[in-house]
Amino acid sequence: MKIIIDSEPSSIEIDSARTALIIIDMQRDFLEPGGFGEALGNDVSRLAGAIVPCRKVLEAARAHRMLVIHTREGHRPDLSDAPRAKIERGTPAVRIGASGPMGRILVRGEPGHDIIPELYPISGEPVIDKPGKGAFYQTDLALLLQNHAVESLIICGVTTEVCVNTTVREANDRGFRCIVLADCCGSYFPEFHEAGLAMIKAQGGIFGWVANSQDFLLAFSVSERAAVA
């Protein structure tokens, strides 16, 4: 279905059959106390506002049979895929691989590494485990999108200026239209959230478009009404 999303810097038409919803790193390690986000000294409650809008967008995408892809940042238990420069940041007790209340921090298979229950993947939804910030780096995401003939990406998740921005930049260079849903993203730093979104939509949408969850949901209902009329 063709839908038109009221976005900045301009509205954008996409074909939902050739669009994937990508939910970036909505993991307990970033959103719940005791995980990686808190280990880095952040107030994790700042990300909570993105959960309900993300859930609504996820339900709409499922209802319209859009491809839904989840990502998780994390490493192998032996940390062989984690660069030393990444591990050696911060105090040893709260580093990647250290044991915390949700298991070993940012390690695959640990409770903290998994996606929060509110947005948990259902059968058939691919989960991309990524070792870096960008969802394309050292993953098979590009192959998966190519095989599904995807042209456009609806992007949600955390954090706005880190993994969301890195993924949008990677996707833009690979030719995907990126529509970032502002209220479905979050940052530990409100000013970085705003700046991260501003950078995407500046210069005529240098990296992509920015909209809200409501704009995305409305786009479907407008198209459906037009189809019935």
163's torsion region: left (phi>0), alpha (psi -120 to 50) or beta?
Answer: alpha
Residue 120: partners with Cβ closer than 8 Å, 6 or more residues away = none
> Counting contacts by CB under 6 A, is residue 162 touching ligand TIU?
yes
124's torsion region: left (phi>0), alpha (psi -120 to 50) or beta?
Answer: left
Work out which of 7, 19, 159, 212 binds ligand TIU, going by CB under 6 A. Answer: 159
**Among 36, 126, 109, CA closest to 75:** 109
If the CB atoms of residues 7 and 160 are measured against ligand TIU, the closer one turns out to be 160
Catalytic (active site) residue 163: yes
β partners of residue 178: 153
Catalytic (active site) residue 201: no
Work out which of 8, 32, 73, 114 binds ligand TIU, going by CB under 6 A. Answer: 73
> Counting contacts by CB under 6 A, is residue 158 touching ligand TIU?
yes
In angstroms, the Cα distances linking 84 to 44, 80, 81, 108, 208 are 25, 9, 9, 17, 33
| Per-residue x/- track, 167-206, ligand TIU (CB under 6 A) | ---------------------x------------------
Work out which of 1, 40, 144, 195 binds ligand TIU, going by CB under 6 A. Answer: 40
Work out which of 163, 179, 197, 211 binds ligand TIU, going by CB under 6 A. Answer: 163
Catalytic (active site) residue 156: no
φ/ψ of 217, rounded to 5, equals -65, -40
Question: What b/e sequence results for 104-142 when a residue is b if at least 16 CB atoms lie within 10 Å of its CB, and e otherwise?
Answer: bbbbbebebbbbbeebebeeebeebbbbbbbbbeebebe
Q: Are 127 and 114 in contact (CB under 8 A)?
A: no
If the CB atoms of residues 210 and 219 are measured against ligand TIU, the closer one turns out to be 210
Q: Could you tell me the smallest distance in angstroms from the CB atom of residue 199 to ligand TIU? A: 15
Q: Could you tell me the smallest distance in angstroms from the CB atom of residue 25 to ligand TIU? A: 4
Stretch that binds ligand TIU, among 45-53, 158-166, 169-177, 206-214 (CB under 6 A): 158-166
If the CB atoms of residues 145 and 162 are measured against ligand TIU, the closer one turns out to be 162
Where do contacts with ligand TIU occur on this chain (CB under 6 A)?
25, 30, 40, 73, 133, 158-159, 162-163, 188
